[in-house]
A and B are shown apart, each in its own frame.
Chain A
């Protein structure tokens, strides 16, 4: 994989989407289904990335106390829900991972 090619194509696509309707004002409309779908893009894409990061350890789903990242991640979910703050969530999750790794070693 060439990271520069990925960034170039990803950047052009992003620009194209930002430019699309400003350029084609009045000629192009966003279909209703796509408007609806956009609500679910963040929860779906982000969860699809986060779940494997938390649950899968050495190639297998691991739901046990040995899975430190899962424990710290669940704690971060609670902190994110209560604080709604990105920085606080990251710091709490990192701290939780550090504590879990130290205590459950």
Chain B
């Protein structure tokens, strides 16, 4: 086995614990996207065109609520902003690879591919073929995401309408939001955004969503400044390790 293959399989192997969590998530996405009214082809293709779990769930919900396209796109942009942090954090380790490689690895750069890769690079440093590690982790995730989406679409089509499956989307968001409510500013951000969303529900083009999100973010930053309680700025390597061990 040459160096490229060695790093590729190491990356894929490091991804396995995360894949166990990703698989049911992909299935739920597939079933819910179909239930939200997306055509089968679109529900499947979103997993490769956007390739970002939470943004895909949110898009499904917004399509169901007949939100205008530009508001959906704006929301995807806000939700995926965090990828710029991952991009910044991996950039020094990928500085020497070709632009083509940078494009491929950027396409594959999700939360789940970032986590094991940054740990690998911070521990081992840059080796001639170490970008194959991120490629292996990203490729393993990509394949599992496509397969689990397809399986979810297939099974979702068999679930009867009487099950109120559409309620599973807000439940998914509840499961995502509750664990991030770690301090007072984030709780305030959540509550204020929620209340503004209720009050601004009648704004045209569903712009209430964007207004609510911006108000929540602003209140979070404002309270954080006032409390002077600064949470960790960078995703810490310890937190990542813990999440990998789970």
Chain A contact residues, majority secondary structure? helix
- For the complex, give the distance between the alpha carbons of A60 and B191 in Å: 19
Which residues of chain B are within 8 angstroms of A11 by Cβ–Cβ distance? 49-51
Count of residues in A whose CB is under 8 Å from the partner chain: 68
Chain B contact-residue range equals: 35 or more
In the complex, chain B residues 68-116 whose Cβ is within 8 Å of any chain A Cβ:
68-69, 72-73, 75-88, 90-92, 94-95, 99, 102-103, 105-107, 109
The count of A-to-B residue pairs whose CB atoms sit within 8 angstroms is 264
Which of B52, B81, B102, B170 makes the CB contact (< 8 A) with A41? B81
Contact with B along A1-26 (1 / 0, CB 8 A): 11111111111011101111111011
Which of B38, B82, B173, B198 makes the CB contact (< 8 A) with A56? B198
- For the complex, give the distance between the alpha carbons of A47 and B216 in Å: 9
Q: Which of B7-15, B141-149, B176-184 contacts A (4 or more CB under 8 A)?
A: B176-184
**What's the least CB distance linking B140 to chain A, in Å?**
17
Which of A10, A47, A72, A86 makes the CB contact (< 8 A) with B190? A47
Closest CB pairs A-B (n = 7): A44-B216, A40-B220, A51-B194, A48-B212, A89-B175, A19-B106, A80-B178
